[in-house]
Structure 1
């Protein structure tokens, strides 16, 4: 069986893959949480928030794929399985049932704030061992920060 090798030393690879795997879990669960809110949203601001949640899902899915492919390029295996995401997520999970629009905006704002903080930690961790992965994480942080601002502005 063929194996994929990457350009980093084992120590650098371990550091970078840990950072990327954490980002992958954040992004996958962000898509799930945002869709859960999207499907159960109610309130007078339903339409714009409903559409904004779809935009957020698209951004998170695109970045999740890029992050996972970077893990593979480094010679490791990304893990986006449901059990892994459920075990490792740091995201606040929505309650069941209808979700009032103001509460959704507040919850998504908090979720994005947490993801942003963790992305900056990952950016710092990958500075020395892999500027390429760091650049990828910077792009993710840029989008997360923009979405955070856009949701926060609605509070």
Structure 2
């Protein structure tokens, strides 16, 4: 069986691998929660929020692929299986059924706030061992922060 090795020491690989895996879980679950809210959204502001949730889903999906591929390039196996995401997620889950637009805005704002904090922790953790992965996490944080601002402005 072939294996992939990367340029990092074992200690650096472990630290960076954990940061990338955490970001991957956040991004996968963000895409799932955003779609769940997208499908079950109701309220006077349905249309713009519905479209904004699609943008958020697309952003999460693009970043999760980049993060997972970086992990592979370092010789780390990304784990995006549903059981792994369900077990490891820190993303707040939406309620079941129809969700009023104001509740969706509050939920997504809170989710993005928590994700932003975790991304900044990952940025700090990867500064020394792998500036390349840090750059990718910075790009994720930039987009998460922008989305947080855009959802928060609607509260």
TM-score range, shorter chain: over 0.9
Secondary structure, counterpart of 1:4 in structure 2: coil
TM-score norm. by structure 1 comes to 1.00
Aligned to 2:107: 107
Counterpart position of 1:35 = 35
Q: Which residue of 2 aligns with 1:9?
A: 9
Residue 117 of structure 2 aligns to a residue whose secondary structure is helix
Question: For residue 89 of structure 1, what is the aligned residue in structure 2?
Answer: 89
Alpha-carbon RMSD across the aligned residues, in angstroms, is 0.3
Give the distance between the partners of 2:92 and 2:133, measured in 1 at CA: 26
TM-score by length of 2: 1.00
User: Aligned partners of 1:2 and 1:47: how far apart in 2?
Assistant: 48
| Structure 1: 5+ residue stretches without partners | none
Structure 2: gaps (5+ residues): none
Distance 2:44 2:95 in 1: 20
1:143 counterpart residue number:
143
- Matched positions, count: 155
Q: Residue 2 of structure 1 aligns to a residue in which SS?
A: coil
Q: Work out the CA distance in 2 between the residues paired with 1:39 and 1:118.
A: 27
